[in-house]
Structure 1
């Protein structure tokens, strides 16, 4: 059988699992560059494979592409949700779709790393030092600042605990969040409006769905303080990307820490690449 691993940009997949346990008859191919957006070209590259292992939503699998993959029997996605796969079409074609378990702490740690970097200006100072400068920016304290958590699930609750350890005032909101859940995590439940208005750092930890797509738009960004920062390690489309770009350019908010985008990999000419 033939198996392909897609979007392994860091050449990490083969070191991250015991692929040899699949036996000597499994032929594994790794694609470490994005296959692009031409569906016919993608189909031509993937047509020989029986099994595809995909990374998040980086390569979509609509019904039209699935119809061009006659050998496909199994589609494995990292995590248990992937809105880029047409599940009905896969089911109709007899393609089994499954997901992997994910560790809860890496994304939470990454969100906190963004918060620390935005506050302490670590990246900026590192760049200044390597360019020959010295102490070009001034960091700010996290102690006593307000950390807003959008979605207090497994990841959001971990970030909330990090914030509490730094003696931040932690507040939270999501559409189904309860007072009992907030009390269990020792954070304050607030309204959506107050989450955006009060947060000095706002970290997103909701799942991407039709309900959360575009959840943060121009109206929500306009509520934020001009000194506030937005952190998104969840999914890009939760935030209206153009509205965020405009807010960053205009100084409506102080900055953002992003690990996810509408289109991944981020195009080389994307406007976010030109912002500090």
Structure 2
């Protein structure tokens, strides 16, 4: 019987899904962990299912897992596995569909939560208070988007729906969406200076790591809101903390962090001008069942049977 571990199942959300009934229990033994087990525990498994980038499997980690034959990813390979070493060791790496556009939905929710003071107003009413601050209008404001790809373009659609003026920055390549919708593409510094809301939708790579620094953050106008549902390290985290403590007239909404789950020692955690979300952009039941684990099951079964599967290698 093939031993399978699903790790980092925060909140035991994956383990509670009915979809696992599809997995042949006579051939596969599946264990769930709501955390990252020790190497001594993991080294007994032939297959490990990982949720997005919650754990990174470096060469050092992979070398300590002698029985590992298959790493089943949810979504695409995006730096969570040393692919070259896995290939050397004949470890199969399977991938699935991405997570639809749910991250764009969360981005829209965070923009509205910040603009309309939803969290502060909720707490005020709970405390027996009433109006205590002006809300902001989206109509006529400037929405700056970094990356007009699959998700960024959906956020642009949201902005257009509310009559926001959308501007963008990307790596310089042609963008058919920007051309079709007549979206102005600006230098990064100018986008930060002109925007009322700034939303990040970039892949994390060598070119984008720490792309946004104090130099850019300091250009933001009063009342600007910065939303990051992409990857934490696109923004220099020390610079982000510095600007948010220096300038209480700007806000941030964060769904991603340099360490996840967020550490209690992370200084961003308690700042009053930050809205926090625990990396939930992709966490919906449909994404888990239809995009992730339905494909994970198919990949594992096909791999075990020697049939073609969706491979990252």
Give the equivalent residue in structure 2 for 1:172: 168
Give the equivalent residue in structure 2 for 1:70: 66
Change (3 A) 1:179 1:101: closer
Q: Which moved more, 1:47-56 or 1:118-127?
A: 47-56
Alignment of 1:124-163 (within 5 A): 124-163=120-159
TM-score (norm 1): 0.92
> After TM superposition, where is structure 1 displaced by more than 4 Å over at least 4 residues in a row?
none
Give the equivalent residue in structure 2 for 1:26: 28
Q: Which moved more, 1:20-29 or 1:176-185?
A: 176-185
Are the counterparts in 2 of residues 160 and 187 from structure 1 also a CA contact under 8 Å? no
Are the counterparts in 2 of residues 152 and 177 from structure 1 also a CA contact under 8 Å? no
CA distance in 2, matches of 1:216, 1:252: 19
Give the equivalent residue in structure 1 for 2:209: 213
Q: Is 1:106 matched with 2:102?
A: yes
Q: Is 1:262 matched with 2:258?
A: yes
1:243 to 227, 233, 239: 239
Shift of 1:50: 1.2
Unaligned runs of 5+ in 2: 273-313
What SS is found at the alignment partner of 1:45? helix
Unaligned runs of 5+ in 1: 36-41
2:198 to 197, 202, 206: 202
Q: Which moved more, 1:238-247 or 1:13-22?
A: 13-22
TM-score (norm 2): 0.82
Higher relative contact order (CA 8 A, sep 6+): 2
Change (3 A) 1:266 1:202: same
Q: Is 1:225 matched with 2:231?
A: no
Are the counterparts in 2 of residues 46 and 69 from structure 1 also a CA contact under 8 Å? yes
Shift of 1:249: 0.8
Give the equivalent residue in structure 2 for 1:39: none
Give the equivalent residue in structure 2 for 1:184: 180
Shift of 1:264: 0.5
CA distance in 1, matches of 2:248, 2:211: 18
What SS is found at the alignment partner of 1:10? helix
Q: Give the RMSD, CA atoms, in angstroms.
A: 1.6
Change (3 A) 1:62 1:179: closer
CA distance in 1, matches of 2:151, 2:170: 13
Superimposed CA distance per residue, residues 48-103 of structure 1 (whole angstroms, 9 cap, x where no aligned partner): 11111112222111111101111111112222132131111111111111222123
Give the equivalent residue in structure 1 for 2:9: 8
Q: Which moved more, 1:9-18 or 1:248-257?
A: 9-18
Are the counterparts in 1 of residues 75 and 99 from structure 2 also a CA contact under 8 Å? no
Are the counterparts in 2 of residues 221 and 253 from structure 1 also a CA contact under 8 Å? no
Aligned residues: 270
